[in-house]
Chains A and B, each alone.
Chain A
Amino acid sequence: MTSPEARQHLIEFLNSIAKPGTRVDSEADDTNLIQQGLIDSFAVIQIISYLEQEHAVDLHALGVDPTSLSSIAGILAAISRAG
């Protein structure tokens, strides 16, 4: 389980990498942010860096599929697996 603080921190980060003029706050956790046009698929590498630096998540070691990081739920699941 991830804490509400971790979730809020993630939302703030996602807002910072979202396309200019868009926000992810009001999106459901399982919304695919790439398909909704809120982030581009290469913003996923920024999400990977965020997970590595902020949560010490090693996606390679965990065998996490990076494409699953296109939703809030997918990112929270990766944080949860690492924790």
Chain B
Amino acid sequence: MLGRLGQFHENERLNRWVQTGYGRIAVWMIAVALLAWHETSIAMIVAFSAVLLVPRQRRLLLSLAAAGTIAERLGNGEISRGISEWLLLGAKLAVALAGLYVIVWLVRRAEKWPALVQRYPATAVHVALWLGYSLSWLPGLGVLTSLPFFAWRLSYLAASGARGTAKGTRFRDHLFYLAPVFGGEATPIGKGFDYLTRHEANDGPSLARSQLAGIKLLLLAVVWVFALAALKALAQGDVDSGRAELFGSYLSSWSIGIPNLDELLRATTTPAWHTSWAALYVTLVTETLSLAIFGHVVVGCLRLLGFNVFRNTYKPLLAESIVEFWNRFFYYFKEVLVDFFFYPTYLRLKRLKPAARTFAAVFAAAFVGNMYFHIFYESPDEIFLLDLATLWALWGPRLIYCLLLAIGIWLSMLRQQKLRAAGVPAGGWTRARRIAGVWTFYAVLQIWNIRLEDVTIGDCNALFLALFGLSVG
């Protein structure tokens, strides 16, 4: 019964009703209520309403919303301003749109690119972005500091150009995901043109299915908001302000007072080993729920708009292997690393033995790509620091995190291949043991997945040793 209820978006009768006038009104009301509850932008709600009215003009409508999103960023969200400031904002928006138009125009003419750019389109994009970013200190060019936001969206666009799929497309076919009204940060949730086109609803039944799936995801996000509030309140005594604040406040009086990871790392005295372990597991679950809420809202919006794309987070806490968890935890981030680091490396290294070839590709994605992604998005300025000690202090923990992650994924992939070859499905106890192993790996690994100014790599290592009752000095 619960299973059928959970699959309501696949129900044919409901699908047919949703395509009727009353059904569309019901979808609009429920979706808008959910979007408002999740505090999505007004632009998103307006865009969804417009798409529901004229779904065939989806890309045009979303491109107009994208222009609004760019204007909002350029204007730092301020509304009260004088006429001259509005004119200046209009001029900036025109320049930004013209810049993006030129990029799309170039991509459509990919057959005329130099051979090297055709062969390495994403690399060419990043060279151009670094050059652009390096000019951002010049007067009037401060806007170029926002280039890292576009890095992977433009990479997908360039890849579409190199494949020839962007030929014959229009500006509106690309603007809507370059500056998405549906949200997302550095990671392009929904990837780019090719992926979104493959998952776009082009008829009534598929649009209804997509919108019902979007509502399902937004409802699931509501459940996770309360689950997260309950867990944080009961385990850590934390109450986040916002939608579930009252609920969290009520439960926090029963808190068992487990510290979170930041508090553990900052602790002046080493907590008991069992407290540290409990804190790591609780932090893993809270981080997973937080990411699931964020991803469900963005993917929920995409589905409401008619792009029935895969979830960003899909039951990672039930994963039975390290590689499966990585695939399910933050799907679109993993896709960036796989599309632009893993596959290119794997396809070029044909002469290596399979295990070495896989290792090189995993290392390129989970270590090199992962580090590059974060450095470029979070603080590209720091790459120009020539002081190795400072760089190590800033990025050392993440370097260790990425290295351990890459090794873990590689070993997990080799193990999965062997298990697949054996072809024996896991029973209940074996499955539980595997899931516990995955939780433990990622719970411990997150010790180094931090960036706090007052926490050193020594603090991370000390916490790791404390888990086994050991201390540094």
Q: Is the CB of A63 within 8 A of B163?
A: yes
The number of chain B residues with a CB under 8 A from chain A is 30
A59→B347 contact, CB < 8 A: yes
A41 and B425: CB pair below 8 A? Answer: no
CA distance A40 to B350 in the complex (A): 22
Chain B stretch 391-426: residues in CB contact (< 8 A) with chain A? 413, 416-417, 419-426
Bound: A40/B416 CA distance, A? 10
Q: Does residue B448 face the partner (Cβ distance < 8 Å to A)? A: no
Annotate B64-100 by CB proximity to A: 1 below 8 A, 0 otherwise. Answer: 0000000000000000000000000000000000000
Inter-chain CA distance A66–B426, complex, in Å, is: 29
Contacts of A83 in B (CB 8 A): none
**Once the chains bind, are A20 and B310 in contact (CB under 8 Å)?**
no
Closest to B354 in A: A49
Residues 313-358 of B at the A interface (beta carbon under 8 Å): 323-324, 327, 338-339, 343, 346-348, 350, 354, 358
* Cβ–Cβ contact A20 & B347, under 8 A: no
- B-chain residues with CB within 8 Å of residue A19 when the two chains form the complex: 420
A21 touches B425 (CB 8 A): yes
Which B positions have Cβ atoms within 8 angstroms of A? 159, 162-163, 194-195, 310, 323-324, 327, 338-339, 343, 346-348, 350, 354, 358, 361, 413, 416-417, 419-426
Chosen A-B contacts, 22 in total, with CB atoms closer than 8 Å, are A16-B421, A20-B420, A20-B422, A20-B424, A40-B323, A40-B327, A40-B416, A41-B338, A42-B323, A42-B327, A45-B413, A48-B346, A48-B347, A52-B350, A58-B350, A59-B347, A65-B159, A65-B163, A66-B343, A66-B347, A67-B195, A67-B339
Instruction: Beyond A16-B420, A63-B163, list 10 extra A-B contacts (CB 8 Å).
Output: A16-B423, A20-B420, A21-B425, A40-B416, A42-B416, A48-B347, A49-B354, A58-B350, A60-B348, A67-B195
